């Protein structure tokens, strides 16, 4: 097994994603880390991006809503090396109206395994996550 190192630029490409029941938690976390996130390129699925942008006061690159293709867009950006970090506030009990959660999450997990971005799924992990140097 080979170990590949991926060099990251100082300004990271960060995807912020949250299930419906976790959007308030993500917003709270993002507001707390606003100054640290502001100089990075931040992506979000549609609904999450619409919620975050006015609250944070900087541009969020919004993709489609998750069930309408945003999840796949995030996955494609991970595979193409266009996302360095996936901040995912995951509600393991939520249900996606179109795709079973187990299959939808597997897209990101598979992408993460194949391209090795930093992926977290809990507030504790996100609070520790080092984005600048080794701290947001």
Q: Which residues are part of the catalytic machinery?
A: 71
Please name the residues in contact with 26: beta carbons below 8 A apart, sequence gap of 6 or more: 16, 17, 18, 48, 52, 87, 89
DSSP, collapsed to helix, strand or coil, labels residue 135 as strand
Q: Would you list the DSSP string of 75-130?
A: HHHHHTT--SEEEEE--TT---SSS-HHHHHHHHHHHHHHH--EEE-SHHHHHH--
The beta-strand segments (E) located in 8-100 are 13-18, 41-44, 61-62, 85-89
């Amino acid at each position: 097994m080979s170990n590949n190192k991926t060099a990251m630029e100082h300004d990271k490409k960060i995807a912020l994603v949250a299930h419906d029941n976790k959007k308030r938690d993500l917003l709270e976390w993002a507001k707390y880390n606003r100054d640290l996130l502001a100089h990075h390129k931040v992506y979000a699925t549609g609904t999450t991006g619409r919620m975050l942008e006015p609250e944070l006061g900087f541009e969020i690159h919004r993709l489609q809503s998750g069930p309408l293709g945003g999840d796949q867009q995030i996955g494609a950006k991970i595979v193409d090396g266009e996302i360095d970090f996936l901040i995912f506030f995951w509600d393991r009990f939520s249900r996606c109206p179109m795709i079973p959660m187990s299959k939808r999450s597997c897209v990101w997990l598979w992408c993460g395994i194949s391209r090795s971005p930093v992926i977290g799924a809990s507030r504790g992990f996100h609070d520790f996550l080092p984005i600048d140097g080794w701290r947001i």
